[in-house]
Amino acid sequence: MKSRVQPPSILAKCRELATVHDLREAGLYPYFMPIEASHDTWVVIDGARKIMVGSNNYMGLTHDPRVLEAAREALNKFGSGNTGSRFLNGNLDLHEQLEAELAEFTGMEAALVFSTGYQTNLGTLGALIGRADTVYIDKLDHASLQDGVRLGLGRTRRFNHNDFATLRRMLEAETPSRGKLIAVDGVYSMEGDIADLPTLVELRREYDAAILVDDAHAVGVLGETGAGTAEHWGLTDEVDLILGTFSKSFASIGGFVAGRADVIDYLQHNARALMFSASMPPASAATVLKALEIIRDEPERREQLWKNTHRMMEGFKSIGFDIGPTETPIVPILIGPMEKTFVFWRALFEAGVFTNPVVPPAVPEGSCRLRTSYMATHSDDDLDFVLEQVERVGKKLGVV
């Protein structure tokens, strides 16, 4: 047998995945599950049907015939991809149409579409934060915001989740001449709570700070028309930048930033994640355009989402589960210990319910949970089945 060359030291860490190896050996590894087929609210894994309550498909549009037809038409017209960046050969009229409609939808002057939501945050923050600037981020902000500020050249100040007293002290201590940006999630993806924009707007006015809201889990869900967190609070004019993804309510992939026209123009010519990435595929852009049309024209879809959400919140609480501070279709089931969380996940999975186990570093130590989330298209039978199985497993494991 040929002897293996000793790997360079930089690769040694790749063998140090004890927790992953242990979970695999115990049959409790929950990640990278290969889905064989998808049918709106349920999926097929290993030939077995699972009710999907781990998706961010809030509007339930991934299988809407109108959305699928729009994607097919774009494929036939433009092909499968653009093979270049928007800066050069990959800019489509679909992209620009989508930007115009997103700007109108969010109440902003202009918008800019990126290939992914993650790249949107990397490109926006990396381009805007200069050496003379400071950005303030909530410690529970999404990883893409956390990584985006690393690309900027300025200072970063982190405050505990919703600790606005500390944020105020940080702003008070900052050099007045420095540019200041407060960056928060509109809806926190592991907690399900909504950003307190009224308090942040007070700080914005007092300390001449800009506000950036990552509305990945809010666009389509919050607000009278689904325009997101700023519309929910009636504070659209007080928010400087709204960012969003298309991989949730819009049933596709990609992302956008909306704001003042001059800011969007600046990002268009300085955001490296836009300028040096292939552009959003035609079918994806067409999917988002059709999804946006449906979200605008069918408010009853959002109303059904909220009915389903409240049904599950009340159901879990009546059983005795702790669902934390959630206010949205993200409904976590707090469990605590990591091992029990994985055992709970596995039991539900085998019973036909797909959830997401969330453990550190995504959440603090001792606060492991199953993250569930709901769609407008979940039926009462779907939701009753989930409640029955969660109650059965929870009692068996002594969680309730």
Q: Which of 50, 95, 180, 217 is catalytic?
A: 217
Asked if 44 and 50 count as a contact pair (C-beta separation under 8 A), the reply is yes
3-state secondary structure (DSSP) of residue 112: strand
**301 exposure class (CB count in 10 Å sphere: 0-12, 13-18, 19+):** buried
Given CA atoms 282, 286, 289, 292 in this order, what sign does their dihedral have?
negative
Asked if 87 and 278 count as a contact pair (C-beta separation under 8 A), the reply is no
Tracing tokens 């699972």 back to the chain, one arrives at: 50
- C-beta neighbour count of 45 within 10 angstroms: 14
List all residues 6 or more positions away from 364 whose beta carbon is below 8 Å from its beta carbon.
none
Q: Which of 189, 249, 277, 373 is catalytic?
A: 189
Is 277 an active-site residue? no
Asked if 122 and 273 count as a contact pair (C-beta separation under 8 A), the reply is yes
Tracing tokens 């609480």 back to the chain, one arrives at: 317
Is 232 an active-site residue? no
> Across-strand partners of 38?
43
State how far the alpha carbon of 313 is from the alpha carbons of 56, 367, 375, 394, in Å: 17, 18, 14, 16
Say how far residue 225 (Cα) sits from the centre of its chain.
19
3-state secondary structure (DSSP) of residue 197: helix
> Across-strand partners of 382?
none
> Across-strand partners of 73?
none
Q: Which of 142, 248, 290, 378 is catalytic?
A: 248
Is 80 an active-site residue? no
State how far the alpha carbon of 193 is from the alpha carbons of 7, 312, 387, in Å: 45, 15, 22
Active site residues: 189, 217, 248
